[in-house]
Amino acid sequence: MRRAVSHVQSLIQHGSPPPDSSQGISRWEALPPANRQRLLWLLSHLLERQLERGRTPGKEDDDELDASTE
């Protein structure tokens, strides 16, 4: 006999609350400009890869191809 499984996410917050927004800003300002630029570059590439994977269902991971572009 199969059990019914609820796919509705709980509205109860688990874990600690998000950090104060001023903490994030002060950390960002503490980074040297070169590190900020590198972080932005890495995050943009990560987002691009995630968006591409979402558009092409069933596509295998292209780790070899991604490594050659770095």
Angle of CA points 8, 51, 5, to nearest 5° = 15
| SS3 readout for 5-59 | CCCCCCCCCCCCCCCCHHHHHHHHHHCCHHHHHHHHHHHHHHHHHHHHHHHCCCC
Are the CB atoms for 43 and 50 separated by under 8 Å? no
In a domain, 16, yes or no: no
21, pLDDT greater than 80: no
pLDDT of res. 27: 84
Domains: count for the chain? 1
State pLDDT tens for residues 22-62: 777 788 889 999 999 999 999 999 999 999 988 876 655 55
In a domain, 61, yes or no: no
By residue range, what is the domain housing residue 33? 29-53
Residue with tokens 């001023």: 22
